[in-house]
Amino acid sequence: FSGPFTDVVTTNLKLRNPSDRKVCFKVKTTAPRRYCVRPNSGIIDPGSSVIVSVMLQPFDYDPNEKSKHKFMVQTTYAPPNITDMEAVWKEAKPDELMDSKLRCVFEMPNENDKLNDIDASKSTPVLNTSKQDGPMPKPHSVSLNDTETRKLVEECKRLQAEIMKLTEENRHLRDEGLRLRKVAHSDKSGSPTALALRDNGSNSLPSLLVVIAAIFIGFFLGKFIL
């Protein structure tokens, strides 16, 4: 049995019947309170095998204490039409019984094994089992996105400044048009139709420039948001 013995330690025994008759078996131990054996008895068919699990219960291990725990596997040929297993062992004669004795050995892992286990756990990569919506982006794709974002932000700022400039020019031209209209009325020279055409022509150009700039900034803002 290999320690540490802070939890149940299981060792398996493989029992094989090489004969051409059925064989009954029973597993005994000198420390029945320390072990759980499953199955502890049964029948093995000719040429078949059975795995017996021996489970050592947790205990405080003392390396200075010598182990005196032993196991014995008894076997005997099964009588025909067997119905009562206990009766088989009670009625079996000593010369019909075969037994194999096993001595328990306890081993604790040495310091080198512990260090190897620690190094192995450190070198083994930890896998993230959490689900992801999609593949992780590549580093260069992230940098390209950041660069494009900065360009769009700078372009938006430039267009906003252009709109403010055009708005100021529009206001200036509108004030100039009002001033010219007053001068025209005061001088009473020229036809009203000509003055109106001149005012409309002076006011329409800045407004058209503002509309075009607004379309451009809307296009870049839409691209940035998407």
Tens digits of per-residue pLDDT, 46-90? 999 999 999 999 988 887 777 789 999 999 999 888 888 888 999
Q: Dig out the tokens for 84 from the structure.
A: 């009562």
- Provide the b/e sequence for 137-173 (b: ≥16 CB within 10 Å): eeeeeeeeeeeeeeeeeebeeebeebbeebeeebeeb
Prediction pTM value: 0.47
Q: What is the pLDDT of residues 89-124, one digit of tens each?
A: 998 899 999 999 999 988 887 654 544 554 444 444
pLDDT grade for 150, boundaries at 50, 70 and 90:
confident
